[in-house]
Structure 1
């Protein structure tokens, strides 16, 4: 593996994955950190795994925090509007009428090129 933070997003997951893999006989090597785990690891290597994993988890939480702040600022500025709707209002109205007539959701999804979940979301929404 190139780096610890690519394998897991939390320290608990990282430790669990490394333990599971080494229990199966897999040698886990992190090139970026220069660490190697075989299952017969010393207390020092376990300490390094925990410390570097904690740092990676901390960095990830900082990234998420900055991302949330950036999105909030963009929303205030009117630059962040989210994902565009998959279907136009006319298509939504047609889906609702065809579904009310008994047409299957899977057929509607195929006809409109969306997933069944998207069809269900539009059927659940109040806007037409």
Structure 2
């Protein structure tokens, strides 16, 4: 059972420091971070995180919008996490 963090900012010019501070406060075991639009379906670190998480893990994000920008994509991601037993 691990604490997993996912950080995403929308552009290369934005900083992840604020979100990283939040992950640090949760004492996550591993963080996946990327600078890419949530509308982009090709997000390597999101895919890596989804492949990495296991049953009993807890996912920490700064905001639900960090996982995705479209309702359909967001629901698919949540379904994947739920199916894997991630909270």
TM-score by length of structure 1 reads 0.21
Task: Looking at secondary structure, tell me which structure has more strand per residue.
Answer: 2
Task: Looking at secondary structure, tell me which structure has more helix per residue.
Answer: 1
TM-score by length of structure 2 reads 0.27
Larger-gyration structure (1/2) = 1
* Larger RCO: 1 or 2 (CA < 8 Å, sep 6+): 2
